[in-house]
Amino acid sequence: MLNRILAPLSAAWKEATDSQVWTSIFRHGKPVSNRNRALVMMSNVFLHLHPVKSRKAGIKLRYTWCMGGITFFLFLVLTFTGLLLMFYYRPTVEYAYADIVDLQEHVPLGIMRELHRWGAHAMVITVWLHMLRVFMTGSYKPPREFNWGIGVVLLVLTLLLSFTGYLLPWDQLAIWAIAVGSNMARATPLLGTEGPLSASLTLGDISLINAGNDARFALLGARSVGQPTLLRFYVLHCVGLPLVAAFLMAVHFWRVRKDGGISGPM
């Protein structure tokens, strides 16, 4: 009985995988022989991030916790859901809040915002845990010093991505969190109005650093969180920071390979 159903299915599967379309996409046979296992890794642009063979200890879940991979996967999820959010969201003081309400109430299957927000929280956590794993296995030691440095920049970028995104719903939570966070910039030494030594930067009687040109102003694009801030954070959040992060991730993964693959005892 079962065979009656399965036989045609497997025949159809064979038909499909033998077709010109299939063989034009996958230029190797099924990865059941060692030769094909190597070919599948090398001929696929995504899989070829990986080596063909790897030390057993290095790919164990208990060693890497897959935490870097999970962080990367979350980044992809965020890129995808973020793109969908951009269809509906307009970064203006007038529309932003209403667009977010619409997203949750009127857009079919409206959990894009949830996926994006919880995914972002999760990514911050997984990137910390990834750093913890890399530290606890001593994987920053030679020859991986530089890749650890790239990683630290990626950690900062992850936090900045999350921070810039926090403003976009334009609700009370958003603007006051950003206000608290960006108030610190006022205290930048030399460059903030309330920073040490800034008052000493004068040209004759005119003090060079004021609320209209200090570090906080550069961050907000205004004297307080307002329309210029929203636009600035939107552009950084949707274009600037993801581009830099994606670029550095490419370097990060490349270096994992070039530094000898996942670390292991000498």
Sequence-separated (6 or more) residues with CB below 8 Å from residue 232: 219, 220, 221
The binder of 15, among another protein, ligand HEM, none, by C-beta within 5 to 8 A per type, is none
Tell me the CA distances in angstroms from 89 to 93, 159, 168, 239, one per residue in order: 11, 22, 9, 15
The binder of 249, among ligand HEM, another protein, none, by C-beta within 5 to 8 A per type, is ligand HEM
d(CA 225, CA 186): 13
Of the residues 2, 45, 180, 206, which one makes contact with another protein according to CB under 8 A: 180
Instruction: Map residues 138-177 to x or -, x wherever contact with another protein holds by CB under 8 A.
Output: xxxxx-xx--xx--x--xx--x--xx--x--xxxxxxxxx
Classify 79 as helix, strand or coil. helix
100 binds another protein (CB under 8 A): yes
Sequence-separated (6 or more) residues with CB below 8 Å from residue 40: 26, 28, 31, 47
What is the smallest separation between the CB atom of 49 and another protein, expressed in angstroms? Answer: 10
Classify 207 as helix, strand or coil. strand
Of the residues 154, 219, 220, 225, which one makes contact with another protein according to CB under 8 A: 225
What is the smallest separation between the CB atom of 18 and another protein, expressed in angstroms? Answer: 21
The binder of 256, among another protein, ligand HEM, none, by C-beta within 5 to 8 A per type, is ligand HEM
Answer left, alpha or beta for residue 154, where phi above 0 means left and psi between -120 and 50 means alpha.
Answer: alpha
Binding site for ligand HEM (CB under 6 A): 64, 66-69, 71-72, 75, 127, 130-131, 134, 137, 139-140, 144, 147-148, 151-152, 154-155, 158, 249, 252, 256, 262-263
